[in-house]
Chain A
Amino acid sequence: MAAPRPARNPINLVVRVLIVALTLATAYIHSTLGGLLFTLNAAGYVVAALAMVVPLGLAIRFRWLVRLGLIGYAATAIIAWYLTGPRYDVAYAAKAIEVALIALLAIDLARNDGNPIPILRAALGALARSINRQRRTPGRSG
């Protein structure tokens, strides 16, 4: 897994600022729509925005996962809207923001973590090894 690198590079900083701004913008739009689903969606975006900048060791170490998670979250929101969502100006603006967000997250991921496939493969391998170790632990009933 790639070692965490602080975003001190000016380009990294700009990209990070844009990511958080776009995430908060789409969170704000969803928060104005009313209803539990939109409110939860907005809350998810706010949490993701915080996770992108919070200077905690755990968050920094797993920033790659936050990036991938936010890409998946935004992509899911776009697909769900495409399948069932209303077509009007605010929705189009929110989806445009989410598309830009995904593009910036991909750039941020590539600049900080490299190719995400080996990262995911390594993470899944570590998870599988951990599960196997637990299965082999003596004293467990089969």
Chain B
Amino acid sequence: MLAPVLGPVLALGVALAASACGPASLGRSAPPSSIDPTAPVVTARDLAFDRSEIAAPADRAFSIVFQNADGVPHNIAIYADSSLARSLFVGEIFIGPATRAYDLPPLASGSYFFRCDVHPDMQGRLLIAGAG
């Protein structure tokens, strides 16, 4: 019974998996939007962010350049705190190696929580301080 089952199974399994992970979800084709040279850069490598804190100005829109150096999907999502009760920004999830510039809305001064939504162990703090 095994032999007639295995061939079609493998073909169908590969086709289904390939369609689920097609180019649209790989995120390699879209180039980064115009990148602010002063924007903080965060890199994800080996299932970890390269920094645990990001600083940005208060009360004005800003960008974060996110470099995904892993061959797995990551993003940066920002929450009011680690309870995740209030989501403030959810960056696009994409597979590396690739880079995205996330454009964030103005935030009030304070400390916020960020993490990768796919790998919640990857996390840090976003520090918003007085403009300038």
What is A's interface to B at a CB cutoff of 8 Å?
6-8, 13, 16-18, 20-25, 28-29, 32-35, 49, 53-55, 84, 86-90, 93-94, 97
Residues A86 and B75 in contact in the complex (CB < 8 Å), given A28-B13, A35-B47: yes
B124 within 8 A of A: no
Q: Is the CB of A17 within 8 A of B20?
A: no
Which residue on A lies nearest to B17, using beta carbons?
A28
B57-85 Cβ-contact flags toward A at 8 Å (1 or 0): 00000000000001111010000000000
Interface residue? B2 (CB, 8 A): yes
Which residues of the partner chain A approach B10 to less than 8 Å between Cβ atoms? 24
A49 to B9, CA, bound (A): 10
Provide the residues of chain A in CB contact with B8, threshold 8 Å: 17, 21
Chain B residues with CB below 8 A from A32, complex form: 21, 72
- CB–CB B12/A18 < 8 A: yes
Output the least CB separation between B82 and chain A (Å): 13
Is B119 part of the contact surface with A, judged by Cβ < 8 Å? yes
How many interface contacts (CB-CB < 8 Å) are there between A and B?
86
Name the B residues within 8 Å of A35 (CB-CB). 47, 72, 119, 121
* Residue B25, interface by CB 8 Å: yes
Q: Is the CB of A34 within 8 A of B17?
A: no
Identify the B interface with A (CB < 8 A). 1-2, 4-6, 8-10, 12-14, 16-17, 19-21, 24-25, 47, 70-73, 75, 93, 117-121
Tell me whether A84 and B16 are in contact in the complex, defined as CB-CB below 8 angstroms, given that A21-B9, A89-B25 are known contacts.
no
Known: A34-B70, A93-B20, A97-B16. 17 other contacts (CB 8 A): A17-B5, A21-B16, A24-B10, A25-B12, A25-B13, A28-B14, A33-B72, A33-B73, A33-B118, A35-B121, A53-B1, A53-B5, A53-B9, A84-B120, A89-B25, A93-B25, A94-B20
Closest residue of chain B to A60 (Cβ to Cβ) is B1
- Once A6-B1, A34-B70 are accepted as A-B contacts, the answer to whether A53 and B16 lie under 8 Å apart by CB is no
A-B contact pairs, 29 of them (CB 8 A): A20-B9, A20-B13, A21-B8, A21-B9, A24-B17, A28-B13, A28-B21, A29-B21, A32-B72, A33-B72, A33-B73, A34-B70, A34-B71, A34-B73, A34-B118, A34-B119, A35-B121, A53-B1, A53-B2, A53-B6, A54-B2, A84-B120, A86-B117, A86-B118, A90-B20, A90-B21, A93-B21, A94-B20, A97-B16
